Structure 1
Amino acid sequence: MLQKKLTTPFISEKLSLSSRVVMAPMNRRRAVKGIPSPSMITYYQQRSGAGLLISDNIAVSSNGSAYMNTPGIYNQEQKQAWEKVVAGVHAKGGKIFAQLVQSGRVGHPAIQNNEPLIAPSALQVNETIRTPDNSYKNMTLPVAISTEEIPVWVNVFKEAAISAIEAGFDGVEIHAAHGFLIDQFINPLSNIRTDEYGGSIENRTRFLFEVMKAVIAAIGKYKVGIRLSPFREIYDLKTYPEELATHEYILDELQKLDILYVHFSNAINDGEPSIPAIFLENARQRFKNIIMIAGGFTVETAEELLQTDLVDLIAFGKLYISNPDLVERIKNDLPLADWDEETFYYGEDKGYIDYPKISFQDCSKS
């Protein structure tokens, strides 16, 4: 029987972790006015046994959160609250990265401080979203960012990264996935610009790389990761003919930047992964640093993939909601608790910090 790789340490020159189990970034929506709550300290501390924690989506600007009660890091009160969360994780021996996001055309002004949505192009998402009056409203038409304004938004990401490091985070993950702003620039279905930020692969990825270079210059390349979601259909974005070539180009350029890691977001559709093994084989050839993947994995399928050496780390989302001690459960073959989907995004402390850790005594009684 092969040794269980999931729970073995991951050691590299750039990052050392107690296991290869990562807590995936999840927006649990418990941050009123974008300020991390005291309960978030408990939540992350409970899960600090992960090899690495990645934070909720953290908005880099006041109009950057797609959903209600998304935490931010664009003012001092938010930053000080994050300092307490990070200190709590470090007190338990954990490591945590901040995932930084600007949601672009995804959201609604009622959520985003009555500010307009922004996007690479004035193209509306044909979906509804829950707003503070508990109704579902159509997402609004975004304002296209002018060429002259691009440096402003690059700087917003840079300043957020600096704030995250000052708050104590071990690094940052730039969210370039899931149909949010950076992904909107990458995808030709949401980017119909005619300037140097639209058209060719090089142009559509220009904003991404300007953000990455600015963040690297500010905090150092080995404190920077990125999240990508190739072939993921979300918020009106479908797959497109140049998608493979686009992500090959992105991976080649990320290798030149020598960043810490690439984090792929997978989805299971009709039993098939959105990111096939052949893509991971290609990615492994192109990007030589750490590769992480999340989305739809069981403990068994995660272990199988790790054994192929196509990825280094596996991130779990739902399993970490209901199993704060997930690494110990995997290590000792203990049963996994079920989650309550009703409290994924709402419920204050219920379904958030009330999932118990398991003990061997509990198992012996069952």
Structure 2
Amino acid sequence: MSDDPLFQPLHLGGLELPNRIVMPPMTRSRASQPGDEANDLMAEYYAQRASAGLIVSEGTWISPMGKGYAWTPGIYTPAQIAGWLKVTDAVHAAGGHMFAQLWHVGRLSHTSLLSGRTPVSSSAIQAEGVKVFIDNDGQPGFVQASMPRALDTDEIQDIVNQFRQAARNAMAAGFDGVELHAANGYLVNQFLDSNANTRIDRYGGSLENRLRFLDEVARALVEGTGDAARVGIRLAPLTTLNGCVDAAPETTYVSAVRRLGKIGVGYIHIAEADWDDAPDMPLAFKRQLRAAFPGVLIYAGKYTAERARNALREGWADLIGFGRPFVANPDLPERLRVGAALAEHHRETLFGGDAKGFTDYPTLAQASL
């Protein structure tokens, strides 16, 4: 057995992962239209990358009001569930494991994506300067996210129920588990972070109240999957992406992680800020999260192989997500294992389109022919 920490197996919710390399969620906007359904091309794309220890699907919206970007897949209709079953069958046939990332974007949407309806959020606060992309006669058009309205208290329970049903749909679609997207300024994050939540009911104000929606959704996902170990939660403690900022992130997120540990979720997936001049996440903070959570911790955010190995050796991470490298390197684990150079992706093909820049990147073996 290799002594390389990236290639040690890991037990996760009844799954035996062959390595510590995660393909994290990445929006690629290739869902079939109309209907926003996963398709054969997406099945090929994910199956090509099945050597990852774990694949987490691109963000997959749980209801029509949860959609925020053109051509993204849902898991709401029977046809969408059937489309995802093609994907999971292909990944499993290739020996992989795959969780569905469940997504409600909240205020990060536009009325044109919601049949003219107003986006919803914790509070009626617009994400100023944040653009989403819409279908502009078959081309992506980037527009300012619309002004949202605040959810009524009883409507919040409707969304909790939608998450529960989405988890059931994901299991019916053959996924091995689900990951809640509670990061990057989307709906759960809009309740959690103090500057995005001005509510005065039981979902706002105190930290305990701001944690309530996350708590209720996590418990709903446990019910929907039937197994807490098959539920993961993605958090982004220090990111200011899409306009969400918390006044005391270490306090907020250590409390959130501790709460999720008591619920018993299988993993927490930490998205570190990864843009130029982004704030570093202090090692002491990472150790606080490690101490607060008894399950598996995944970190993602511009990790190189060397940084990943150090994180695993130091023990504050159990798995490492490599996002953009998986776009152009379908056999990324093999390249990391042998220290091969990584191919660069074509930025212009990231969102929307066909097989070009999606399924046509060669493996290391194919590139050497």
Q: TM-score range by the shorter chain?
A: over 0.9
Whole-angstrom CA distance in 1 between matches of 2:197 and 2:102: 21
Aligned residues of 2:13 and 2:230 also touching (Cα < 8 A): no
Q: 1:20 to 1:88 in 2, by over 3 A?
A: same
**2:142 matched residue in structure 1:** 136
Deviation string for 1:315-348 (max 9, x for gaps)? 1110000000011111122221111111111332
The aligned residue for residue 113 of structure 1 is 115
Offset from partner CA, 1:154-177 (integer Å, 9 cap, x none) = 000000000000111000001100
**Separation (CA, whole Å) in 2 of partners of 1:3 and 1:25:** 28
1:164 paired residue number? 170
Find the aligned partners of 1:13 and 1:271 in 2 and give their Cα distance.
Answer: 36
Report the counterpart of residue 353 of structure 1 in structure 2. 359
| Among 169, 172, 175, the residue aligned to 2:181 | 175
C-alpha contact 1:63 1:113 (8 A) present in aligned 2: no
Q: Distance in 2 between matches of 1:53 and 1:125?
A: 30
RMSD across aligned positions (CA)? 1.7
1:28 is paired with a residue whose SS is coil
Residue of structure 2 equivalent to 1:227: 234
Amino acid across the alignment from 2:23 = M
CA distance in 2, matches of 1:200, 1:14: 37
Which secondary structure state, in structure 2, belongs to the residue aligned with residue 230 of structure 1?
A: coil
Partner of 1:147: 153
Contact 2:12/2:266 (8 A) holds in 1: no
- Say which is worse superposed, 294-303 or 98-107, in terms of deviation: 294-303
Q: Matches of residues 315-354 of structure 1 in structure 2 within 5 Å?
A: 315-354=321-360
Distance 1:279 1:346 in 2: 37
Compared with structure 1, are the counterparts of its residues 12 and 214 closer, same or farther at alpha carbon in structure 2 (3 Å cutoff)? Answer: closer
Counterpart selection for 1:301 from 303, 307, 326: 307
- Structure 2 CA distance for aligned equivalents of residues 333 and 300 of structure 1: 10
Query: How far 1:269 sits from its partner (Å)?
Result: 4.9
- Aligned to 1:188, which of 186, 191, 194? 194
1:61 aligned partner? 63
C-alpha deviations, 1:118-150, integer Å up to 9, x for none?
A: 101111111233322244322211121101111
Q: What residue in structure 2 maps to residue 285 of structure 1? A: 291
Q: Percent identity?
A: 37
Q: How far off its partner does 1:270 sit? A: 4.6
Partner of residue 89, structure 1? 91
Instruction: Kindly provide the amino acid, as one letter, of the partner of residue 104 in structure 2.
Output: Q
For residues 66 and 295 of structure 2, the distance between their equivalents in structure 1, rounded to whole angstroms, comes to 29
Residue 20 of structure 1 is matched in structure 2 by 20
Shift in alpha-carbon separation, 1:158–1:305, aligned structure 2, 3 A: same
Contact 1:232/1:274 (8 A) holds in 2: no
1:218 CA displacement: 2.6
Q: Distance in 2 between matches of 1:361 and 1:315?
A: 24
Residue 42 of structure 2: aligned partner: 40
SS at match of 1:41: helix
**1:270/1:58 Cα in 2 relative to 1: closer, same or farther (>3 Å)?**
closer
> Which amino acid counterpart does residue 7 of structure 2 have in structure 1?
T
Structure-2 separation of matches of 1:271 and 1:152: 39
State the Cα distance separating 1:360 from its structure 2 match: 8.6
Q: How many residues align?
A: 361
The gaps in structure 1 that reach 5 residues or longer are: none
TM-score of the pair, normalised by structure 2: 0.94
Q: Which digits, 9 at most, give the CA deviation of each residue in 1:208-227, with x for residues without a partner?
A: 11111122123220110100
Note closer, same or farther for the CA distance 1:141–1:79 as it changes in structure 2 (3 Å cut): same
Aligned amino acid, residue 125 of structure 1: A
2:210 alignment partner in structure 1: 204
Aligned pair in 2 of structure 1 residues 209, 13: CA closer, same or farther (>3 Å)? closer
Q: Distance in 2 between matches of 1:95 and 1:11?
A: 12
Aligned with 2:43: secondary structure?
helix
Change (3 A) 1:360 1:348: closer
Determine the C-alpha separation between the residues in 2 that align with 1:319 and 1:120. 34
CA apart distance, 1:198: 0.3
Matched residue SS, 1:347: coil
Determine if contact 1:264/1:292 at 8 Å carries over to the other structure: yes
Moved over 6 A (4+): none
* Residue 237 of structure 1, CA deviation: 2.0
Are the aligned partners of 1:14 and 1:260 in contact in 2 as well (CA < 8 Å)? no
What SS does the corresponding residue of 2:135 show, helix, strand or coil? coil
The two structures have a TM-score, normalised by structure 1, of 0.94
